Amino acid sequence: MIRVRLKLATAEDMPREEVEAVEPAATGDAPVDFSQKRLLLVEDNQINMEIASMILTQMGFALETAENGQIAVDMASASEPGYYDLVLMDIQMPVMDGYTATRTIRALDDPALASVPIVAMTANAFAEDVQAAMDAGMQAHIAKPVDIAVLHKTLQEVLGKYRTIRRHIWRCLFRHLLLSGRSNPVNLRNLQLHLSKNSLAS
């Protein structure tokens, strides 16, 4: 009987090209296909909601709506991870404003739900309003009245970045599994939460 002792590879043992194979892909991906994406539109003004809904559905999005921040939080927290690809959030709303709703979503226990991209779409368009949206945990700010070209460009950028982040998460998971043994199991929830929060904030 022949016994062979195998040593688990470390990062130093791996050829550089194999390590690079699990690093994030370079930018320049194809445009995001909006017809494969579902948005949650949060807007308390019925006319604004109808106009935005028409624009977004013409872009190809599947769309669901909420009339205030509390309803948005309830819908997001009750959804399956990945059900909503992005939330378009008004700021000034009754019951719960957009900033509070965003912070509440970011505090959800499930990192997949907590890290959904959120974009402010509001008439509050001063520099301090943009900064307030970022501080609340949003990824971008779109001013009303909405410029359709700006809306399209912003949604492409945010969804494209989030697509890259999701790939990064799985590459990091693969790399972790490749470089570690059963004695060092990956905590997928913590990995996803860490990467999503830090990448979306950048």
CA distances from 54 to 49, 57, 196 (A): 8, 5, 30
The pLDDT of residue 141 is: 96
Superfamily holding 32-164: Response regulator (3.40.50.2300)
Q: Output the pTM of the full model.
A: 0.73
Block mean pLDDT (10 aa), the chain, length 202: 44 42 49 96 97 97 98 98 96 97 96 94 93 96 95 95 66 60 51 51 46
CA 112/CA 116 separation, integer angstroms:
7
User: Domain boundaries in the chain?
Assistant: 32-164
Whats the size of the chain, residue-wise?
202
The pLDDT of residue 179 is: 62
The pLDDT tens digits for 125-139 are 899 999 999 999 999
Q: What are the residues whose beta carbons fall under 8 Å from the beta carbon of 3, sequence distance 6 or more? A: none
